């Protein structure tokens, strides 16, 4: 006789299928925006953890660097991971720790992903394997199913008995870190801080809190002023745990300082390190703003190394591990450059006013109106204010380049990677509105709407073919979803 609830096939593909059935973060944001459910977020997260037989204290043996902010969170996490990797390489090569406490395994949790969810959970500097992802996924999934079965739920295996997408992956990451004997955990907030799913980490686990550059984003959940957003991000502060930030707008800094006092923690404002100002310390990530992220990452890592008994990073002497970690870092989709024949693809997932302004400055350092012909823009945003964001990008580009004549072709695709997957008929209302908004403010170039990113890439390649061997600059920006789809369409390894 077959059991009433047989276990599904345990494959990576099945894990991805189940994961994609869970409520997306975008849906959660929409719900919170309309019902002000923020106050329930942490109690609900702890309730889900309880079903896994975990409490917040279960993770106290992890030594956590917790990162919040609007811009640069992922870059700071990647820098911390890369520097820790270099310290571990030195330790493993020498076999000695110079009487310091040895460093253990490093785990990283970030979001969103570009190609595969495995990117979100990293061990030893790499995304976890398909095999490990599958194993840890079903360990968590099956515990929720078993709890629902005990509770008499009519469909215990269904997605309705599981937390939402981001909550599930947060718990899966923490579960993986414990099972894989991670000592240092670098954890990025999803949205905000105060009510974020990652904010169940206690002060006993944390070695440093980090708040990157703040800006306006997710206003429905976080508030529509910098002060409100700063209050929310500062929710990751803990008593006695050092907190580090970069220089912020006055409104935001005032709130951060007030929250630090309330939390009983020291807030350090990290200025750009001299060796980054004078370019003696080279970064593997492009963009001037990354120098501030690097300075912030070094300060946080120093606090962490000191807290775990390894010893702080000297202020006046940057260790070779830090230098190598920052110079050898790879973080796709953030000021990324790909050379292809006579095309220079310039790729960044910027999706806010401030980050698009930074991308414009980066592009201006690559494209010279005096010597280069107008390039190509590929822009996509699925946000409601995508047309306004496109206009913001145009204004920033005009300001940084000193000209309107920047592009010969402006492409506005959907975020579907491949032409074969475009439905008939497909909906491109937002793309057409965005293209119209671009033209309305005098955006240069012939606007074109495409059903797929692949078609937009082909359009850019046609321009480059006609101009060969002259270099053609192609700016790809507007969202990380676009960047992920772009990299897939360019041949990056898929799920």
Give the model confidence (pLDDT) of 142-157 as tens digits. Answer: 999 999 999 899 999 9
Please give the helix or strand (H or E) that residue 127 lies within, else none: strand 126-127
pTM over 0.85: yes
Which H helix or E strand runs over 305? helix 290-307
Alpha-carbon Rg for the chain, nearest whole angstrom, is 23
What does the pLDDT average to over 310-330? Answer: 92
Measure Cα distances from 378 to 161, 332, 423, 455 in Å: 40, 17, 21, 11
Task: Name the pLDDT band for 223 (thresholds 50, 70, 90).
Answer: low
* Cα(464)–Cα(375) distance, integer angstroms: 9
| CB 85, CB 284: distance < 8 Å | no
What topology does CATH give the domain 336-489?
A: 3.90.190
What does the domain layout of the chain look like in residue ranges? Answer: 12-327, 336-489
How far is residue 246's CA from residue 10's CA, in Å, rounded to a whole number? 45
Q: Helix 12-19 and helix 165-179: axis angle, to 10°?
A: 140
Residue 164: its pLDDT value, please? 94
Tell me, what DSSP letter sits at residue 73? Answer: H
DSSP state of 384: T
pLDDT at 31 exceeding the cut of 90: no
Confidence of residue 8 (pLDDT cuts 50, 70, 90): low
Distance of CA 405 to the CA centre of its chain: 32
* Whether domain 12-327 has CATH 3.40.1190.10: yes
pLDDT tens-digit series, residues 245-292: 999 999 999 999 999 999 999 999 999 999 999 999 999 999 999 999
Q: What is the rounded average pLDDT for all residues in the chain?
A: 91
- 452 near 421, Cβ under 8 Å? yes
84 has a pLDDT exceeding 80: yes
CA dihedral 349, 353, 354, 358 (to 10 degrees): 50
pLDDT digits (tens, 9 = 90+) for 162-219: 999 999 999 999 999 999 999 999 999 998 899 999 999 999 999 999 999 998 765 5
Cis omega (within 30 of 0) for bond into 425: yes
């Amino acid at each position: 006789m077959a059991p009433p609830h047989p276990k599904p096939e345990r494959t990576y593909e099945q894990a991805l299928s189940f994961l994609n059935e869970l409520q997306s973060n975008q849906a959660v944001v929409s719900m919170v925006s309309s019902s002000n459910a923020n106050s329930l977020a942490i109690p609900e997260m702890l309730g889900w953890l309880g079903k896994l037989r975990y409490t917040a204290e279960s993770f106290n043996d992890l030594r956590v660097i917790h990162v919040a902010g609007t811009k640069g969170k992922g870059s700071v996490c990647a820098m911390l991971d890369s520097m820790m990797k270099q310290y571990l390489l030195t330790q493993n090569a020498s076999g000695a720790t110079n009487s310091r406490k040895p460093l253990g395994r490093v785990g990283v949790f970030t979001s969103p992903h570009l190609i595969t969810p495995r990117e979100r959970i990293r061990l030893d500097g790499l995304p976890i394997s398909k095999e490990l992802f599958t194993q840890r996924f079903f360990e968590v999934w099956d515990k929720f199913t078993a709890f629902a079965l005990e509770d008499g739920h009519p469909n215990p295996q269904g997605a309705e008995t599981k937390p939402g997408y981001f909550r599930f992956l947060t718990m899966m990451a923490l579960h993986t870190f414990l099972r894989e004997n991670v000592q240092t955990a670098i954890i990025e907030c999803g949205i905000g801080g105060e009510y974020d799913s990652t904010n169940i980490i206690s002060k006993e686990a944390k070695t440093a809190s980090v708040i990157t550059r703040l800006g306006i984003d997710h206003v429905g959940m976080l508030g529509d002023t910098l002060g409100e957003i700063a209050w929310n991000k500062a929710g990751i502060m803990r008593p006695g745990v050092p907190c580090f930030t970069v220089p912020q707008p006055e409104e935001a800094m005032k709130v951060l300082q007030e929250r630090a006092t309330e939390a009983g923690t020291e807030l350090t404002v990290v200025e750009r390190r001299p060796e980054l100002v004078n370019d003696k310390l080279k970064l593997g990530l492009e963009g001037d703003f990354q120098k501030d992220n690097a300075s912030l990452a070094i300060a946080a890592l120093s606090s962490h190394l000191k807290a775990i008994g390894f010893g702080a990073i000297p202020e006046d002497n940057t260790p070779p591990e830090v230098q190598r970690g920052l110079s050898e870092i790879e973080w796709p989709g953030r000021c990324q450059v790909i050379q292809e024949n006579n095309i220079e693809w310039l790729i960044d997932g910027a999706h806010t006013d401030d980050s698009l302004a930074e991308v414009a400055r980066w592009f201006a350092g690559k494209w010279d109106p005096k010597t280069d012909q107008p390039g190509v823009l590929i822009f996509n945003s699925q946000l409601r204010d995508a047309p306004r964001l496109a206009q913001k990008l145009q204004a920033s580009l005009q300001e940084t380049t000193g000209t309107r004549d920047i592009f010969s072709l402006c492409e506005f695709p959907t975020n579907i990677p491949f032409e074969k997957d475009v439905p008939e008929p497909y909906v491109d209302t937002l793309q057409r509105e965005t293209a119209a908004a671009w033209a309305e403010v005098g955006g240069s170039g012939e606007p074109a709407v495409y059903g797929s990113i692949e078609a937009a890439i082909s359009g850019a390649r046609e321009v480059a073919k006609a101009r060969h061997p002259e270099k053609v600059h192609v700016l790809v920006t507007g969202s990380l979803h676009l960047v992920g789809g772009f990299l897939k369409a360019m041949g990056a390894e898929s799920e």
